[in-house]
Amino acid sequence: MNWFGQRFNPFSKKRKIPNGLFTKCPGCNDTVYNKELENNNKVCSKCDYHFTLGAWERVNVLIDQGTFIEYDKDLTSLDPLNFKGPKTYPQKIKEDQEKTGLKEAAITGIGDIKGLSVSIGVTDSRFIMGSMGSVVGEKLTRCIERGIEKGIPVIIVSGSGGGARMYEGVYSLMQMAKTSAALAKLEEARIPFISILTNPTMGGVMASFASLGDIILAEPKALIGFAGPRVIKQTVRQDLPEGFQRSEYLLEHGMIDRVTHRNDLVSEISKILSLLLKKKIIA
């Protein structure tokens, strides 16, 4: 047997890279190390692309560690219309509960931001596109009412590509009025509401509570609007301006107050609330 017929090459076999170590960035198409991504709040260090955050990730980014208390966590949706489709409504809910670990598309509670207590709600676009059904509307309404009861600012972080939830029909549409009415009472109590818009914030969510903030902040390049740009283009039969419905475009046209990098949100919110307290705008 010829042991030396072939020269040994230690690199002849491709080394396998374990799955889950890297993510391809949609912004720059480069490969990002997942650990680096997590350490930077899921923002690409090369192009600043803001990846989607889940509701709990968002809470962990904004709220002081160990201060968050969740409320209304066991509320779940019923099937008021007995919705029929490729999947029933209960099947869709169960599927997204298993996928996300959430009961519904919103988390609400009380926590501190740099020592200042706030009532906070966060919607999650991974759960039926963050759409607002009766439970999401109820949880956010209670979140606002909790702010009134305790005299603390309200913050809602919106991530909804689904707007109103079609599985619940008019019950879902009613949540737009309900959350807006609660915010009107919050305004009467002279308690501020900061609305934070993330990619995407669309439909009935944007047409109700998300657009009613005393201060409206948005993450960079977030898609924000009612109908999507493709639908609008087909309706008006005209080309849309570059960057249409993105955060920067809305800032330029006066629809939001500031575009804020995710890593700057905590300090930005803290400064805003401190200023409002100093000016005695809060009751």
Give the per-residue pLDDT at 277.
74
Give the per-residue pLDDT at 278.
72
* Amino acid in the structure at residue 226: F
Instruction: For the chain, list the strands marked E by DSSP.
Output: 22-24, 31-33, 69-71, 106-113, 116-123, 154-160, 193-201, 215-218, 258-259
Find the mean pLDDT for residues 203-229.
93
In CATH, the architecture of 53-278 is Alpha-Beta Complex (3.90)
Return the minimum-mean-pLDDT range out of 5-14, 62-71, 74-83, 257-266: 5-14
Q: Which residues contact 252 (CB under 8 A, 6 or more apart)?
A: none
- Mean pLDDT of all residues in the chain? 91
Greater model confidence, 49 or 16: 49
Give the per-residue pLDDT at 162.
82
Give the per-residue pLDDT at 3.
52
Per DSSP, the residues of 170-205 read: HHHHHHHHHHHHHHHHHHHTT--EEEEEEEEE-HHH
Taking 70 as the threshold, does the pLDDT of residue 34 lie above it? Answer: yes
Taking 60 as the threshold, does the pLDDT of residue 2 lie above it? Answer: no
Every domain of the chain and the residues it spans = 18-51, 53-278
Instruction: Provide the pLDDT confidence category of residue 6 given band limits of 50, 70 and 90.
Output: low
Return phi, psi of residue 10, to 5°.
-65, -15
Find the mean pLDDT for residues 14-28.
77
Find the mean pLDDT for residues 145-151.
97
CA dist., res. 262 & res. 208, Å (int): 23
pLDDT digit string, tens, across residues 68-89 = 999 999 999 999 999 988 999 9
73: its two tokens: 């966590």
Give the per-residue pLDDT at 7.
58
Calculate what percentage of the chain has a pLDDT beyond 70: 92
Q: What residues are paired with 193 via a beta bridge?
A: 154
Residue 115's alpha-carbon distances to 67, 70, 188, 192, 272, in angstroms, are 9, 17, 25, 17, 14
124: its two tokens: 């999650």
Return phi, psi of residue 51, to 5°.
-70, 160
Instruction: Provide the pLDDT confidence category of residue 221 given band limits of 50, 70 and 90.
Output: very high
CA dist., res. 280 & res. 141, Å (int): 25
Q: What is the pTM of this model?
A: 0.89
Give the per-residue pLDDT at 266.
97
Instruction: Provide the pLDDT confidence category of residue 206 given band limits of 50, 70 and 90.
Output: very high
Find the mean pLDDT for residues 27-38.
93
pLDDT digit string, tens, across residues 152-177 = 999 999 989 888 898 999 999 999 99
